[in-house]
Amino acid sequence: MVRRTVAWVVAVVLIVEALGIGALNWFLGVVVERQKMSMAGLDPHLMSTSSKIGGVVFGLYFALCALVALLVAVRDRAPAGFGRVVLISAAVVQGLLGAFAWGLIDVTAFLAMVVVLALLVLLLVSYDRDGGPVEAAPGGGGGTGGGPRVPDEPVDASAAPPGEPVAERPAEPRDGDEGPRDAVAGRLTRLAPTTP
């Protein structure tokens, strides 16, 4: 239940972040264009357009991450394949944004990024990975228990074509194949006490 709640929270936070980053970059682009700002002689229109494109690209990226988290929450299954890679990349981006926030903005923005990073990591590690397919039990089908195992029936060697090996038939021993055997198999000798 906690895993699903974390997935829902991550989806909502990433949607808010996608809208926030997209709107912020778009607003900065509009401000640069209206004020005719320039940095190191760059064209203000070029700076405005690149800021708007960056806002759209980052907004779509975080919206994709939110969609993956939403699918994890709805299906209640671990992210796999492309979705897992997307969430890992989102965690890396959150870490980088947190580092920039620490240096450029303040501690509050840094803590907000760290909280989002912690939620992403919690989402990634809270779902147990599948252990692979269930191995079949010897006596039944698919590991469901089943009844006792029936010994293999003898195979009619005359039905096989000459020269072909017969399946399920134990190999006949050849000279020297047999190992040493005890003369009295399955018989135990009781030990006598050595002290009176």
Under the banding of pLDDT at 50, 70 and 90, the label for residue 46 is: confident
CA–CA dist 133, 104 (Å, integer): 50
Backbone angles phi, psi at 168, to 5 degrees: 65, 10
Minimum mean pLDDT among 8-12, 14-18, 165-169, 189-193: which range? 165-169
Taking only the tens place, the pLDDT of each residue in 75-108 is 888 888 888 898 889 999 888 988 888 888 888 8
Minimum mean pLDDT among 66-70, 75-79, 107-111, 132-136: which range? 132-136
CA–CA dist 93, 115 (Å, integer): 13
**Maximum separation of any 2 CA atoms in the chain, in Å:** 112
pLDDT of residue 50: 87
pLDDT of residue 136: 44
pLDDT of residue 134: 41
- Check residues 122 and 184 and name the one with the higher pLDDT: 122
Q: Give the pair of three-digit tokens for residue 182.
A: 């005890």
Residue 148 has pLDDT above 60, yes or no: no
Q: Are 29 and 48 in contact (CB under 8 A)?
A: yes
- pTM listed for this prediction: 0.58
Q: Give the pair of three-digit tokens for residue 186.
A: 């399955």
Distances (CA, A) of 32 to 20, 48, 50, 101, 161: 18, 6, 11, 22, 87
Which one-letter DSSP state was computed for residue 183?
A: S
CA–CA dist 120, 88 (Å, integer): 8
CA–CA dist 39, 184 (Å, integer): 98
pLDDT of residue 37: 73
Instruction: Tell me which residue has tokens 């039990």.
Output: 137
Q: Are 71 and 10 in contact (CB under 8 A)?
A: no
Highest mean pLDDT among 66-70, 99-103, 167-171: 66-70
Residue 165 has pLDDT above 70, yes or no: no
Q: In the predicted model, what is the mean pLDDT of the chain? A: 75
- Check residues 177 and 195 and name the one with the higher pLDDT: 195
